[in-house]
Amino acid sequence: MSLKIGFLGPAGTFTEQALHSSYSLNGAEVVPLPSIQDVIAAVERRDVEKGIVAIENSVEGSVNTTLDMLAFDVELKIEKEIISSVRHNLLGRADLDKSEIEVVISHPQATAQCRRYMMREVPGAAIKAANSTAEAVEIVTRDGHGRWAAIGTKLAAGRYGLTILDEGIQDVAGNQTRFVVLGRSSAQRTGFDKTSIVCFIHEDRPGSLLAILQEFADRNINLTKIASRPTRGARGEYCFFVDLEGHVDDPTIAEALKCLRSKLTEVKLLGSYPRASVPSV
């Protein structure tokens, strides 16, 4: 039986593009799913063995759906990260002129990353949201949507028979998205690794964040990301997502996590995995 990998579908999303460009499928079956929530839930239910989801964009920041589900809803591990350059395109029917566009539809992250372009080039168009960029492209092909355009990939344009009206429409040239492959175990140590954790504090009090950071500073551990999210508890209660260089099997990392667990309500390990190479822009 072949390995099943879930991704945000339908066919032609940036997630699928990242999966095919940066992951050794080796005959694996790729399974399109309608939302990030569905991908993560499918891995948790064991409907698929692995799933790939976006977790962070260099322009719009963290993908909160992914962070929240990993922190609160599932017991999965990040096994791999993929960093992919994002090049957005305005797609429509071949006979559509940009001046005729009434609606632009895409995933909210994609439209946010092309905000200035749309204000300049299609200022009168309504903005609508889809679950994915590929779903947006498919919607544009339906009857009654002749004056709709979508923001999506070249891959989706080819698969759904739309024309690229404008390419490279993202507001920031170096736009990149970080994806993570989710499974049930941390990857083996490679010597060039990253570890992701969530830190839950006892209560919101002065010095809470400093107490976390000090454990890493004292051991000269480099942090690559820190972000806060509400805990779904009382108003004002937050947890901290931390990415750090190193593997949980490294003695200094293990020691730091042990000390954190003695200070905090909970430290949840989201995974240790090989660091991705950053593509040139």
Q: What is the architecture of the domain spanning 193-274?
A: 2-Layer Sandwich (3.30)
Q: What is the pLDDT of residues 218-262, one digit of tens each?
A: 999 999 999 988 887 666 678 899 999 999 999 999 999 999 999
Cα separation of 251 and 159, whole Å?
Answer: 49
Cα separation of 182 and 226, whole Å?
Answer: 20
- Please give the CATH number for the structural domain made up of 4-86+175-183: 3.40.190.10
Choices 3.10.330.20, 3.10.20.30, 3.40.1790.10, 3.40.190.10: CATH for 89-167: 3.40.190.10
Q: What angle do CA 177, 159, 59 make, to 5 degrees?
A: 15
Q: What is the pLDDT of residues 135-168, one digit of tens each?
A: 999 999 999 899 999 999 998 999 999 999 999 9
Q: What pLDDT score does 265 carry?
A: 85
**Strand pairing category for 29-33 and 4-8:** parallel
Q: Where are the domains of the chain?
A: 4-86+175-183, 89-167, 193-274
pTM as predicted: 0.86
